A = this chain, B = another copy of it.
Amino acid sequence: MAEATPQVASPVRELRIGEVAKRTGVTPRTIRYYEEIGLLPAVAGRDPGSHRLYGERDVERLEELLQLKEVLGVTLEELREIATAESARAALRREWHEDEPDAGRRREIIDEALGHVASQLELVRRRKAEIEGFEDELVARRRLLRKRLREIGANG
């Protein structure tokens, strides 16, 4: 029961851009570019010229985005729209639950994460359905070809 570090929700920003880049398998340039186009939020409270500092949360978020990009094959613009939509939904729900005393602070965070996962699952499953559609087409085509082959084999 010794869990009393005086951090309520400290971001623990300790990673620099090179370290984040290594962990996610991209280059620093890519991270700056993503920030530039608004896909990643600009590191808050940072004087121009000083180093960007990130936390584990930021790394996880970037990994999510990279995986969505690869799996869905979407452009960075579409990815930005997805991210924006997620934020908007999160904000709305936060407002909705505003009146709670505070007992559910962690609850809100988990709830938000659940929302992210849900919307991502929807996208992934939509993509999967598309692929399965094409797969079915191919299987049907194969069936037709095999039928023709049997017919030829019968009278040829």
Contacts and interface: CB of A to CB of B under 8 A. Distances in A.
A32 B1 CA distance: 70
Interface in A112-147: 113-114, 117-118, 120-121, 124-125, 127-128, 130-132, 134-135, 138-139, 141-142, 145-146
Contact of A149 (B73, B111, B121, B141): B111
A146 B107 contact: no
A44 interface: no
A145 B110 contact: yes
A152 B120 contact: no
Contact of A110 (B114, B120, B127, B152): B152
A111 to B, nearest CB: 7
A120 B42 CA distance: 42
Contact of A142 (B71, B106, B118, B145): B118
